[in-house]
């Protein structure tokens, strides 16, 4: 059995899509659907069963493995960078991950965990996924810290040679539609352009960056799940790894790609960044991908323009924009 936590979420459901494409159907989806629209991400996919995340935790807390688990792909977390309930983030993102990790230790179960580029903070220490640099990182928000503290625990417990913790950069693609304000700018821009003919970007409040000139490493969801599938096939590769492209592009570049995919002339409106996030805003991110390449991952990563064209043309412009098995 492959267990995918957060299996109805964005990256989790995309990973189920990838497993289905590889002929894997024995999948247990662990999530908390509540009253969200996440359930729609599962409709076109194949899996064996679904269980609520709290019930799943009770089962594994007994120390048994009733699922005959081959791998735990832990994508379940609160991914809101604006969440302010620190206790909730510590329990949901850190403690839950720690308990899952203990469940697989001492067995042959593969463990893939979703960390985040938010752990790098303002980027002043760079974006190198080197274990020795991990303790020095200072995330800018509680979400980033809740991911960072697990990496610190795994480092201190000396288990990074047995698990994989993946620092995802700015991921975009189908099945993110339920995420509200946490949807990618590509997804939000498509809706804005269809409705108004223009899209909005934040003004810069940093003298080194013009409006729309803030730089991010935007990574296509299909590249992310290809990398995750590679780790499942290569149990010798373990530790903390970046998942990005290694290329920083401006928000203006992203806007141009969306307009081009929609066959429209660019019309961008720059709006003031909310005061509450100005001090926590990352103006530059770029994944150092050398460690993943050195581990043996050789597949090319999709250029931004091509990825946006795929997303817009094959998903956002369709009546049923979800990934299909």
CA distance 158 to 155: 5
Helix (H) or strand (E) holding 130: none
Phi and psi torsions of 13, nearest 5°: -70, -35
What letter would DSSP give residue 284?
B
Dihedral (C-alpha) 258, 260, 263, 269: value to the nearest 10 degrees? 60
CA distance 119 to 167: 8
Whole-Å CA distances, 91 to 97, 149, 157, 296, 322: 9, 12, 19, 34, 30
Whose structure tokens read 């969801």?
221
Backbone Cα Rg of the chain: 19
List, by residue number, the catalytic residues. 143, 179
């Amino acid at each position: 059995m492959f267990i995918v936590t957060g299996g109805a979420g964005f990256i989790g459901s995309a990973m189920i899509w990838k497993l289905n494409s590889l002929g894997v159907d024995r999948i247990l989806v662990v999530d908390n659907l509540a009253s969200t629209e996440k359930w729609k991400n599962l409709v076109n996919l194949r899996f064996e069963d679904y269980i609520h995340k709290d019930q799943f935790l009770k089962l594994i807390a007994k120390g048994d493995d009733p699922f005959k688990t081959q791998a735990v792909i832990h994508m379940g977390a609160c991914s809101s960078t604006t969440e302010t309930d620190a206790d909730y983030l510590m329990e949901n993102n850190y403690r839950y991950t720690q308990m899952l990790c203990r469940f697989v230790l001492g067995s042959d179960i593969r463990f893939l965990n979703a960390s985040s580029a938010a752990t790098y903070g303002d980027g002043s220490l760079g974006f190198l996924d080197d274990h020795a640099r991990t303790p020095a990182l200072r995330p800018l928000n509680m979400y980033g810290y809740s991911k960072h503290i697990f990496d610190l625990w795994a480092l201190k417990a000396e288990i990074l040679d047995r698990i994989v913790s993946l620092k995802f950069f700015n991921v975009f693609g189908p099945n993110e539609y339920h995420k509200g304000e946490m949807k990618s700018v590509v997804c939000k821009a498509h809706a804005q352009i269809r409705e108004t003919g223009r899209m909005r970007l934040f003004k810069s409040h940093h003298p080194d960056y013009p409006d729309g000139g803030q730089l991010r490493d935007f990574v296509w969801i299909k590249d992310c799940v290809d990398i995750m599938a590679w780790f499942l096939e290569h149990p010798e590769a373990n530790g903390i790894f970046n998942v990005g492209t290694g290329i920083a592009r401006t928000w203006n570049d992203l806007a141009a790609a969306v307009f081009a995919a929609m066959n429209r002339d660019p019309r961008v409106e720059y709006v003031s960044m909310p005061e509450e996030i100005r001090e926590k805003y990352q103006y530059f991110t770029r994944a150092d991908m050398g460690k993943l390449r050195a581990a043996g991952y050789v597949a090319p990563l999709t250029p931004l323009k091509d990825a946006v064209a795929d997303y817009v043309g094959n998903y956002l412009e369709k009546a049923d924009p979800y990934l299909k098995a």
